[in-house]
Amino acid sequence: MAEHLERQPSRREEIIELATEERHDADIPTNIGSIRTIHTRKPTESAESSTLKLGEKDIEKGPIASSLSSSKRDAEDEEVIPEDEEGINEPNIVTWDSPTDPENPMNWTLKKKWGTVALVSVITFLTPLASSMFAPGVPDVMHTFHSTNDMLTGFMVSVYVLGFAFGPLIVAPLSEMYGRLPLYHTCNVLFTVFTIAAAVSTNMTMFIFFRFFMGCFGGAPNVLGGGTIADLISREQRGTAMAVWMMGPTLGPCVGPIIGGFLTGAKGWRWNFWFVAICSGACTVMLAVLMKETSAPVILARKTKRLIKETGNTKLRSKLDNGLSPRDLFLFSIIRPTKMLTRSLICFLISLYISIIYAYLYILFTTFTAVFTTRYHFSSGAAGLSFLGLGLGSVLGQFVFTHFGNRTVRKHMEKGDFRPEHRLWIMAFGGLALPVGLFWYGWAVEGDAHWIVGIVGTGFVGFGMMMSFMPASTYLVDVFTVYAASAMAANTVMRSLFAALIPLSSQKMYAALGYGWGNSLLGFVSLLLIPIPFLFIRYGERIRKRNTVKF
């Protein structure tokens, strides 16, 4: 028994890490099982209090909500049993034929593995790219549909992100029931269909409707991609694949307008959608021909059904069978995030911080074209280059966070005093770049400074956004551990709603205040947000212990 407990912490961490990458909570079985906890009663506890602990899970304090580095305390307080270690020797348990079973995605050839990763990374780059690609063509869209409504100018860009808020909530539980491959194929086909529909729209209502559903189905690779990589690549080699995959959501929205600007100038705004549809259609065909199912629970479930049919033994069950009904999976994906957002102060404040910053990104996306075509007389093609500062700043922020953020965490883990709040130091200082960039960009435009001055300012904005977004997301994973996916889903829903709705008033704000004071207003709000990371660094652990959510 002592040996069993000794190896549980690393097993537990592996399950949590894999579940987080697969965008579900760790109490839903993954390739290596699920986490079930058996609380051992301490001498000071009564039988009644021990029974209460068995009936409720506290996700912000206690063993389950501790950081990944606190597994020693986990082992002292509870026995963590991965489900797949129970009953392995039972004759009715269906598992892999051997450690080298070719049906197991972990045993695929390197060519097959990395080919699948490449396909997933391409489609994950394409769908975020489509979110902002046609931004330089917004004036042409308004002219085509004879609209002068400033609110629609922003909404036609940001409505795509509104789809990101709702689509993944449905895709995630469906992927647990039917596997990743059917969801990839279905969402890719529907994304292509709605992209074509947007390209041939004849009025503004049709265009916005179809663009919303582009976002709903385009968000699927962001939900499924990390899980696919986790299915295929071992933990030791996963870093490179995850880094390549994560570049899509980072670079896509910034590279899109650069391509879209020149494409709009040469062929018109509709060709932005034809370009995306052609690329998406090609990816759909490649995935249909080359990609196989990678979800281990689904592969074993199919094997179990096949064996039941061949042998007639109805008692057979998969080693990774979770026994969860479709209703339970939807509850995990929808009710838990809502509960976290409304009842967890930490989840709400961090999500609010990120949501405001994300909304700023789409305010800039929806106004850059107007700024650089009217103030600096850029052509519709060259207007896409105005997004370059945001893109380069975001990439720099990603590298800085990866280097210094990981170094800070390693230092505290070596000391043995790591807390999730240590993630926020880099966020606290990186967040200072955001108001600097907003003031810089706003007054450069207002003062008619050279166009490169304003673009350099937006580089600070992109850097500050990435330095805030990435530590905050990692902090939520560390705080909620087993339920990290639900916390991330809550964050995604909130930030997508903000990004879709707040930019609707950006044109009126700039018309009333000008670009100098308009961006200064955004800068002042971001200044007010700066204390939040410092407050969590100092009081976060205390808040986690007092303000909890229980399931």
The DSSP bridge partners found for residue 35 are: 82
Average of per-residue pLDDT across 149-176: 84
Q: Are residues 258 and 309 in the same domain?
A: yes
Q: What is the per-residue burial (b if ≥16 Cβ within 10 Å, else e) of 128-152?
A: bbbbbbbbbbbbbbbebbebeebeb
Domain shared by 213 and 288, yes or no: yes
Say if residue 62 is in the same domain as residue 108: no
Which domain covers residue 547, as residue numbers?
330-551
Average the pLDDT over 150-160 and give the result: 85
Give yes or no for residue 67 having a pLDDT over 90.
no
Residue 436 shares a structural domain with residue 374 = yes
Tell whether 254 and 175 lie within a shared domain.
yes
- Bigger pLDDT: 148 vs 523: 523
Do 390 and 285 share a domain, yes or no? no
Q: What is the pLDDT of residues 249-279, one digit of tens each?
A: 878 888 888 888 889 888 889 999 999 999 9
Residue indicated by tokens 């549980």:
8
| Last residue in a domain, options 33, 67, 89 | 89
User: Which of 38, 61, 89 is a domain's end point?
Assistant: 89
Q: pLDDT digit string (tens) for 69-81?
A: 333 334 333 334 4
Q: Once rounded to an integer, what is the mean pLDDT over residues 339-359?
A: 87
User: 88 pLDDT band (50/70/90 cuts)?
Assistant: very low
Residues 353 and 385 reside in one and the same domain: yes
Give the pLDDT of residue 55.
38
Runs of H (alpha helix) within 291-386: 296-311, 326-330, 336-343, 345-374
pLDDT at 2 (0 to 100)? 41
In single-letter form, the type of residue at position 256 comes to G
Averaged pLDDT score across all residues of the chain: 80
Q: Tell me, yes or no, if the pTM score tops 0.85.
A: no
- Examine the pLDDT at 349 and tell me if it is beyond 80: yes
Shared-domain flag, residues 391 and 281: no
Confirm if 317 and 203 have CB atoms less than 8 A apart. Answer: no
Neighbour-count burial for 233-263, b at 16+ CB within 10 Å, e otherwise: beeeebeebbebbbebbbbbbbbbbbbbbbb
Q: Which of 65, 89, 113 is the last residue of a domain?
A: 89
CATH assignment of the domain containing 269: 1.20.1250.20
- Does one domain contain both 199 and 182? yes
Q: What is the mean pLDDT of residues 112-125?
A: 90
Tokens linked to 209:
């409707």
Band the pLDDT of 25: cuts 50, 70, 90. Answer: confident
The mean pLDDT of 302-311, rounded to a whole number, is 86
Let me know whether 243 and 386 are in one domain: no
Residues 40 and 98 in one domain: no
The per-residue pLDDT for 264 is 87
- Domain count along the chain: 3
Both 122 and 85 in a single domain?
no
